[in-house]
Amino acid sequence: MIYLDNNATTRPLPDVVAAMSEAMQLCWGNPSSKHALGQDAKRVLAAARADVAALLGAQPVEIVFTSGATESNHHVLHGALHRPAMPRRIILSAIEHSGYMKSALRLRQEGVEVVLVPVDAAGRIDLDALRESLQQDAALISVMAANNETGVLQPIPEIAAMARERGIPVHVDATQMVGKLPISFAEWGVDLLSLSAHKFHGPKGVGALLIRKGLSWPTLMSGQQERARRGGTENLPGIVGMAAAARHARSCLADEALRETALRESLEASLLDQVPGVTIYGQDAERLPNTVCLSIAGFSSDKILDRLERKGICASSGAACSSGGSDPSHVLLAMGVPGSVALGAIRLSLGLDTHATDIAAVVNVLQELCRPEAPLQNPAAV
Ligand code: PMP
């Protein structure tokens, strides 16, 4: 099998599995308990917090462990509207993650003004439109660091500076960037940041919300855990697994980013050269090292994915979260891609296990797919 769906999820590393198994067998106390077993768990939790903070250029106290980016994003969204004396107006880029976007748009029914900031044809946020949207007060601005479908990066420090000038809290969904490119929560100057462990070789169902030190953010789940910012007994095995994944990412991120960029560039060059009708979305923008979003003229995404699948290659159409649906991707539509074309888009997302032979295999399959069928012979003439 060739796995090219690393933006959907990644393989948990052996070190991650081992750390989780050890935590479950040896460190199963409740970190809130005062006895020795609980205090052991508390120490392990503190060490994991430090490891995750180190990957993100954040302080350990800024980390709130959650069940993943979906929860973190919703904590940000609903928290923003529960802060005292905040305007009922929020600003989002038009390409935020589909689940988060849906929840935000639903708030319109409750009278919240939800402003969507457009992106250009390459998927980069329109900074003039953003500046314009910031003229009026808002309770929140959310912009994702790297798009899950196209891999296109946004200029987060610049966006954060613009929002800070207006005193508007800035949230970044960095789920796709963590573990792929360096991140500094402190240097970015943002207030809130979301991530999920399973996107960088950790376990599923665990992630974090970073809340800038000194910023008070309403809690959605009461309880004394996580400094009363997120109640509920901590998912210690998951958190320990995330910490192991964070340590691994820190140790190899720079080299791996270069390696995957080279593979991605060779994949794109071969596709453009050898497969007729290929369009690569966001090609002119700065992107994640691992992500290629493309369509092939005349082919539906189902047809392409089916052919890849039959050759043992796992990929997905646009966002895995919305694949299976028949709607075109809101991200590609926001980039001005016509709906009928956007329906043909597929995403290849490379990872630690991707090698040059895999790239060659994909190119080969897509080349074969597009090769004109041999003309049917007239049976009478044979
Ligand atoms: N944000 C982004 C950018 C994502 O790619 C994803 C996962 N596809 C999420 C949020 C949600 O992550 P999870 O399903 O782990 O909560």
pLDDT above 50 (res 154): yes
Task: Tell how far the Cα of 381 is from the centroid of ligand 1, in angstroms.
Answer: 58
One of 3.90.1150.10, 3.40.640.10, 3.60.10.10, 3.40.50.720 is the CATH number of 56-226, namely: 3.40.640.10
Taking CA atoms only, the protein residue closest to ligand 1 atom 7 is: 8
Q: Candidates 9, 172, 176, 209: which one to mutate for ligand 1, based on the most atoms within 8 Å of Cβ?
A: 176
Q: Report yes or no for ipTM above 0.95.
A: yes
Q: Report how far residue 228's alpha carbon sits from residue 119's, in angstroms, rounded to the nearest whole number.
A: 37
Task: Tell how far the Cα of 141 is from the centroid of ligand 1, in angstroms.
Answer: 18
pLDDT above 50 (res 31): yes
Ligand 1 atom closest to the Cα of residue 146 is 3
Q: How far is CA 321 from CA 41, 310, 349, in A?
A: 34, 22, 14
Ligand 1 atom closest to the Cα of residue 196 is 15
Taking CA atoms only, the protein residue closest to ligand 1 atom 10 is: 69
Q: Candidates 6, 196, 199, 331: which one to mutate for ligand 1, based on the most atoms within 8 Å of Cβ?
A: 196
164, amino acid identity: R
Q: Six-digit token pair at 20?
A: 């989780």
Taking CA atoms only, the protein residue closest to ligand 1 atom 5 is: 148
pLDDT score recorded for residue 370:
87
pLDDT score recorded for residue 118:
98
Q: Candidates 152, 200, 321: which one to mutate for ligand 1, based on the most atoms within 8 Å of Cβ?
A: 321
Grouping H, G, I as helix, E, B as strand and the rest as coil, residue 144 is: strand
Q: Which of 253, 296, 312, 313 minimizes the C-alpha distance to 4?
A: 313
Task: Report strand pairing: 140-144 vs 113-117.
Answer: unpaired
Superfamily of domain 2-6+253-370: Aspartate Aminotransferase, domain 1 (3.90.1150.10)
Which residues are part of the catalytic machinery?
A: 321
Task: Tell how far the Cα of 175 is from the centroid of ligand 1, in angstroms.
Answer: 6
Sign of the alpha-carbon torsion through 240, 320, 270, 147: negative
Task: Tell how far the Cα of 97 is from the centroid of ligand 1, in angstroms.
Answer: 7
Supply the angle between the helices 236-274 and 36-56 in degrees, to the nearest 10. 30
pTM over the 0.90 mark = yes
pLDDT score recorded for residue 376:
52
Q: Which residues pair with 140 in a beta bridge?
A: 90
Task: Tell how far the Cα of 232 is from the centroid of ligand 1, in angstroms.
Answer: 21
Confidence of residue 298 (pLDDT cuts 50, 70, 90): very high
Residues in contact with ligand 1 (CB, 6 Å cut-off): 68-70, 97, 144, 148, 173, 175-176, 196, 198, 321
- Which segment of 86-100, 249-263, 317-331, 359-373 scores lowest on mean pLDDT? 317-331
If you average pLDDT over residues 168-192, what whole number do you get?
98
pLDDT above 90 (res 134): yes
| Boundaries of every domain in the chain | 2-6+253-370, 56-226
pLDDT score recorded for residue 112:
97
pLDDT score recorded for residue 40:
97
pLDDT above 80 (res 108): yes
pLDDT above 80 (res 101): yes
Ligand 1 atom closest to the Cα of residue 147 is 3
Ligand 1 atom closest to the Cα of residue 69 is 16
Q: Which residues contact 263 (CB under 8 A, 6 or more apart)?
A: 350, 354, 355, 356, 359
Task: Tell how far the Cα of 207 is from the centroid of ligand 1, in angstroms.
Answer: 10
pLDDT tens for residues 37-70? Answer: 999 999 999 999 999 999 999 999 999 999 999 9
Ligand 1 atom closest to the Cα of residue 67 is 16
